[in-house]
Structure 1
Amino acid sequence: MKKQELIHLHSLLAQVQHHYEAEADSEVEHDRYADLGVKPTSIHKSKTDHKEAVFALATELTTEMAEATDEPRPMAAD
């Protein structure tokens, strides 16, 4: 994958994170991602840096979503 494609994927994952946080009304735990200091707009960072950030963000998003689906949901009123 080219650097430009990784940056695009990184941007998409960041949008998914923001959308999920808005819909779930909670924040995604993203300490590892934040510690990397690589944002989608950090175009000066290396391809390897963006790849690591993509994996960190994807892992943290899927972990959060998996935990949210394990919680019991309230029954809908008929």
Structure 2
Amino acid sequence: MKKQELIHLHGLLAEVGNYYEDEHSTEVDLSEYESLGVRPTSIHKSKTDHKAAVFAMAKAITSEMADAEATEKVAAKAD
């Protein structure tokens, strides 16, 4: 994947995270991501930096979704 594509993916993941937080009234723990100091607008950062940021953000979002799914109550109904 090219650096430009990673930056684009980075921006899209940021939007997904914001959307998820708004829709579910929760906060995604982005401490690992924020410690990297790389934002989608940090075009001067290396491709490797953006790749690490993408993985950290994706991990944070999916972890939050998995936690929410595990605690979500499902109505009992028969098929």
Q: Which residue number in structure 2 is paired with residue 4 of structure 1?
A: 4
Q: Which runs of 4+ in 1 moved over 2 A?
A: 72-75
Q: Which residue number in structure 2 is paired with residue 24 of structure 1?
A: 24
Q: Which residue number in structure 2 is paired with residue 58 of structure 1?
A: 58
Q: Which residue number in structure 1 is paired with residue 34 of structure 2?
A: 34
What is the CA–CA distance in structure 2 between the aligned matches of 1:15 and 1:71, rounded to whole Å? 24
How big is the shift at 1:72? 3.2
TM normalised by structure 1 equals 0.92
How big is the shift at 1:64? 0.4
Q: Per-residue displacement from partner, 1:42-71 (whole Å, max 9, x unpaired)?
A: 001000000000000000110000000011
How big is the shift at 1:74? 6.9
Q: Per-residue displacement from partner, 1:21-53 (whole Å, max 9, x unpaired)?
A: 000101100110000010000001000000000
Aligned-pair identity (%): 60
TM normalised by structure 2 equals 0.91
How big is the shift at 1:73? 2.5
RMSD, matched Cα:
1.1
Gaps of 5+ in 1: none
| Aligned residues between the structures | 75
